[in-house]
Structure 1
Amino acid sequence: MVWTTPRTHDRRSVLRLLGVGAGAMLAGPALSACGAAHGETDPSAIGGSLDEIIARAQKEGTVRLMGYPETWANYRGHFRDFEKKYGVKVHVDSPDAHSAEELQAVLNLQGQSTQPDVLDVGYSFTSAAIEQGLIESYKPSNFDAIPENLKDPDGLWVGAYYGVISVGINRAACPVPHRFEDLLRPEYRGKVAMPGDPRKGAASIATVCAAATARGGSVENAGPGIEYFAELAHRGNLVSVADAGQAMSTGQAAAIFDWNYNWLGREEQLRRDGIDFEYVVLDDGVFGNYYAQPITIGSPQPNAARLWVDWLTSDEGAEHYALGGAIPARFTELVAAGALSEEALAKLPEPSILEQVTLPTPAQGDAANVAIATRWGREVVI
Structure 2
Amino acid sequence: MEQITELAKSEGTVQLIAVPEDWANYGSQFSTFTEKYGIATPVDTPNASSADELTAVKNLKGQKSQPDVIDIGYSFTGKAEAEGLITAYKPSNFESIPDNLKDPDGMWVGAYYGVVQVGTNTNVVEAPKSWNDLLDPKYKGKIALPGDPRKGASSIAAVFAAALANGGSVDNIQPGIDFFEKLAKSGNLVSITSPVSALSTGQAAVVFDWNYNFLGMEKELEKSGITLETTTFEDGVFGNYYAQPVVADSPHPNSARLWADWLTSDEGSELFALGGGIPARYLELKEAGKLSDEALSMLPDAGVISEIEFPTVEQGETASQLIVDQWAQKVASQ
Q: TM (normalized to structure 1)?
A: 0.86
**Pair 1:221-2:144 in alignment:** no
Q: Which one-letter code corresponds to 1:337 in the other structure?
A: A
**Pair 1:167-2:118 in alignment:** yes
Would the aligned equivalents of 1:219 and 1:367 in 2 still touch at CA under 8 Å? no
Taking the TM superposition and a 5 Å limit, the aligned residue runs for 1:1-382 are 50-380=1-331, 381-382=333-334
Deviations 1:68-117 (A, max 9, x none): 11000100000010000111111111111110010111111222222110
Secondary structure of the residue aligned to 1:355 is helix
Secondary structure of the residue aligned to 2:249 is coil
Secondary structure of the residue aligned to 2:42 is strand
- Give 5+ residue unaligned stretches, structure 1: 1-49
Q: CA deviation at 1:283?
A: 1.2
May I ask how many residue pairs the two structures share in their alignment?
333
Q: What's the C-alpha RMSD, in Å, of the aligned pairs?
A: 0.8
Q: Which one-letter code corresponds to 1:236 in the other structure?
A: G
Counterpart CA distance in 2 for 1:58 and 1:136 is 21
- Give 5+ residue unaligned stretches, structure 2: none
Q: CA deviation at 1:268?
A: 1.8
Q: TM (normalized to structure 2)?
A: 0.98
Counterpart CA distance in 1 for 2:99 and 2:303 is 22
Q: Which one-letter code corresponds to 2:305 in the other structure?
A: L
Q: Which one-letter code corresponds to 1:84 in the other structure?
A: E
Deviations 1:227-249 (A, max 9, x none): 10110111111111011101001
Q: CA deviation at 1:219?
A: 2.8
Q: Which moved more, 1:143-152 or 1:106-115?
A: 106-115
Counterpart CA distance in 2 for 1:91 and 1:231 is 41
Counterpart CA distance in 2 for 1:251 and 1:84 is 39
Secondary structure of the residue aligned to 2:14 is strand
Deviations 1:241-274 (A, max 9, x none): 0111010011111100000000010012112210
Counterpart CA distance in 2 for 1:145 and 1:221 is 30
Q: CA deviation at 1:220?
A: 2.3
Q: CA deviation at 1:186?
A: 1.2
